[in-house]
């Protein structure tokens, strides 16, 4: 499919004052009215399964069936794994052309908790595999569509889903308007602290819901490298911890390779750490240097990412304290085939750069490297802590009121990220002060939920007929 025209882009010259940039957004609204954002467009020539199958060629063959099986479990799981399908769909319909740094996969489950370097618990976007510059509404559309699909999965009625998706769009619009009135440093530092945020909304929630939210926060604080050590390792014959095998989800190096080959992979892992070290801030070199390599294993992660290469690496400090790092393969963003934008020599650097721009604060061990993987093929990997206060909401147990609050929270941090990476004045000018944008996005969310449900059903049929292989495993 030819790369589509993304729409007329307003001037973003920093010498143009705020009022002129707001006016650029106003003019863009005339070119792309809100009604143009409300529908899914022509869908007759779509082939979502062909798009999914096109991704299999660069993935670990024996894990591709696991990906299909995970996507087949529910319409929401399918949607999570179908970022490429939605990018193809969004490229077919009108766009504002108002660009920012996109998450690229801004569904509900890609927001969550993590510990900041200051040891506070933040709530933010937490997955950037598909990050790429593009029209701001692509992220907002994916977010509201995920709310509609998750709401259906939870049995919410049409009016309840409409209130949830509309509230999400409203929160995004109002947050962007607020940020357009803030100074540059205030925008750059804007963030959400999870614990203080929940203190403000506790009166809105039922007692049972408050307990569940508090439990999620407490659980996040307990998820760190020490917790991972207790859950993922056992003690080897040499007295050193070894990552436990739970194939195909976690497979230690020694089970993937034998003898000299396994030793070579361990040496490759240690070389990777040296290369990755150079991408960290200099002061963090000293911290990383205090840890020694112990063990590594291949790990299956996520839904859409299943089949891409991912390794977990265990290191230990001189006092025996653990550090678990995750090295995840970065492939080109699914958006890159549809949007005009920069070309990257290293896809992992793209991910890290996008994450550092969009997040208010990022993991101190976030970095990247390029080099031969265990199969000898050079690949790009980004590296971060496996667990550091990470936590996520249980979407399937949410009530309508909690999903509405959660959707608004996601919209707020997404607007903050977009304001850092794009022209917040032009975007705010486009959105305006009426609720027309909110209504258009809520209408789109329901239409796209219908479309995605049909795609999920098509995957179910394809697995039943043997067109695509599916292998169900736990985890």
In the predicted model, is pLDDT for residue 468 greater than 70?
Answer: yes
User: What is the C-alpha separation between 369 and 381, in angstroms, rounded?
Assistant: 6
Residue 8's pLDDT is: 39
Within 8 A by CB and 6+ apart from 191, the residues are 122, 124, 360, 361, 413, 416
Average pLDDT value for residue range 330-354: 95
Exposure b/e, 242-253, CB count within 10 A at least 16 = b: bbeebebbbbbb
Q: Counting every residue, how long is the chain?
A: 475
pLDDT tier at 2, thresholds 50, 70, 90: very low
In the predicted model, is pLDDT for residue 462 greater than 90?
Answer: yes
Residue 372's pLDDT is: 84
Residue 195's pLDDT is: 64
In the predicted model, is pLDDT for residue 429 greater than 70?
Answer: yes
Report the range out of 21-25, 146-150, 400-404 with the highest average pLDDT. 146-150
Residue 203's pLDDT is: 59
């Amino acid at each position: 499919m030819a790369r589509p025209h993304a729409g007329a882009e307003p001037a973003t010259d920093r010498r143009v004052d705020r009022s002129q940039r707001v006016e650029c957004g106003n003019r863009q609204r005339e070119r792309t009215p809100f009604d143009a954002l409300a529908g899914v467009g022509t869908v007759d020539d779509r082939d979502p399964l062909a798009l999914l199958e096109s991704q299999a060629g660069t993935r670990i063959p024996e894990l591709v069936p696991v990906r299909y099986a995970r996507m087949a479990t529910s319409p929401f799981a399918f949607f999570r794994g179908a970022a490429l399908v939605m990018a193809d769909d969004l490229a077919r319909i009108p766009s504002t052309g108002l660009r920012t740094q996109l998450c690229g996969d801004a569904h509900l489950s890609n927001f969550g908790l993590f510990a900041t370097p200051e040891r506070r618990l933040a709530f933010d976007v937490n997955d950037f595999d598909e990050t790429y510059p593009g029209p701001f509404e692509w992220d907002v559309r994916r977010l509201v569509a995920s709310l509609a699909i998750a709401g259906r999965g939870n049995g919410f009625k049409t009016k309840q889903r409409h209130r949830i998706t509309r509230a999400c769009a409203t929160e995004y619009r109002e947050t962007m308007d607020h940020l357009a009135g803030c100074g540059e440093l205030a925008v750059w530092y804007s963030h959400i602290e999870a614990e203080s945020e929940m203190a403000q909304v506790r009166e809105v929630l039922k007692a049972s819901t408050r307990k569940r939210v508090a439990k999620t926060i407490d659980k996040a604080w307990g998820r760190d490298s020490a917790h991972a050590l207790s859950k993922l390792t056992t003690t080897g014959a040499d007295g050193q911890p070894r990552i436990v095998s739970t194939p195909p989800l976690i497979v230690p190096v020694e089970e993937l390779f034998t003898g000299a080959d396994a030793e070579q992979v361990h040496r490759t892992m240690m070389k990777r750490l040296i290369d990755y070290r150079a991408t960290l801030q200099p002061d963090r070199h000293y911290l990383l240097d205090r840890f020694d390599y112990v063990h590594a294993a291949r790990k299956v992660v996520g839904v859409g990412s299943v089949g891409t290469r991912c390794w977990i690496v265990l290191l230990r400090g001189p006092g025996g304290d653990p550090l678990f790092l995750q090295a995840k393969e970065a492939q080109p963003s699914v958006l890159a085939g549809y949007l005009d934008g920069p070309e990257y020599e290293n896809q992992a650097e793209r991910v890290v750069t996008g994450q550092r721009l969009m997040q208010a604060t990022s993991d101190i061990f976030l970095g990247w490297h390029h080099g031969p993987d265990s199969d000898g093929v050079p690949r790009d990997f980004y590296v971060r802590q496996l667990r550091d206060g990470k936590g996520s909401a249980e979407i399937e147990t949410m009530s309508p009121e909690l999903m509405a609050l959660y959707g608004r929270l996601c919209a707020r941090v997404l607007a903050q990220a977009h304001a850092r990476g794009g022209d917040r004045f032009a975007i705010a000018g486009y959105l305006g002060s009426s609720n027309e944008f909110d209504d258009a996005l809520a209408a789109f969310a329901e239409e796209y939920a219908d479309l995605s449900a049909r795609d999920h059903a098509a995957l179910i049929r394809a697995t039943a007929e043997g067109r695509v292989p599916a292998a169900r495993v736990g985890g």
